[in-house]
Chain A
Amino acid sequence: DSGVTQTPKHLITATGQRVTLRCSPRSGDLSVYWYQQSLDQGLQFLIHYYNGEERAKGNILERFSAQQFPDLHSELNLSSLELGDSALYFCASSVVDGYGYTFGSGTRLTVV
């Protein structure tokens, strides 16, 4: 157990639907990062939050949004889902900077 908890582990949904992925960071970590892992794109950085504030955005689609709550857990919202959104979505956390990333075990999203 890495200390970073992601739920659910698996999600199957239909095109056009909306889902929410949840991440609880390791105790004491203020930063949360979201990554998408797909077969064709590899691991892509989506977004970074630090203590509730958005710090950096990567290749995140407009249909996707995220937030970090006061208790530091984070949610990634994916809407108007397309087949190409099927991927593994990872959350990682760190205390302050990027050295000590700890990854969760991911949420596998399948859009049918």
Chain B
Amino acid sequence: GNSVTQMEGPVTLSEEAFLTINCTYTATGYPSLFWYVQYPGEGLQLLLKATKADDKGSNKGFEATYRKETTSFHLEKGSVQVSDSAVYFCALRSAGAQKLVFGQGTRLTINP
């Protein structure tokens, strides 16, 4: 079946550090890929998405590129801020399906 694997957390960085959160997936066909962010006490918010191979999703300084050859969708940010502290979820949606399949989530803490 379809699945998403994220790098295990928690991840702790200093402000202005470079961030990478790895995400790989297993799916048949050509899924759409997503990154969601969950701030403390809140629901999930869509951060960015990509719907086909080589697409780059970007938002709020975060980027992720859909790499079909490596079945990956790694999240990156060049300079993190304390306000980026949250849990990040990678997810996929198979073509024709409605539900999202989520990874386990990666807790990110940014220290000033």
Contact with B along A5-40 (1 / 0, CB 8 A): 000000000000000000000000001010000000
User: What residues of A have a CB within 8 angstroms of the CB of B97 in the complex?
Assistant: 56, 98
The answer to whether A101 touches B100, judged by C-beta atoms less than 8 angstroms apart, is: yes
**A83 within 8 Å of B (CB atoms):** no
Contact of A98 among B41, B89, B93, B104 (CB under 8 A): B93
Binds A, one of B42-50, B69-77, B78-86: B42-50
| B98 with A55: CB separation less than 8 A | yes
B residues with a Cβ closer than 8 A to A are 32, 36, 41-46, 49, 51, 89, 93, 97-105
Which one of A42, A56, A105 contacts B98 once the chains associate, using CB atoms below 8 Å? A56
Say yes or no for A73: interface residue by CB 8 A criterion: no
Residues of A within 8 A of B51 (CB): 99
Interface size, chain A (Cβ < 8 Å): 24
Is the pair B100, A42 in contact by a Cβ cutoff of 8 Å? no
Which of chain B's residues has its CB closest to A45's CB? B99
Contact of A103 among B43, B98, B99 (CB under 8 A): B43
- Residues from chain A with Cβ under 8 Å of B104 in the complex: 42
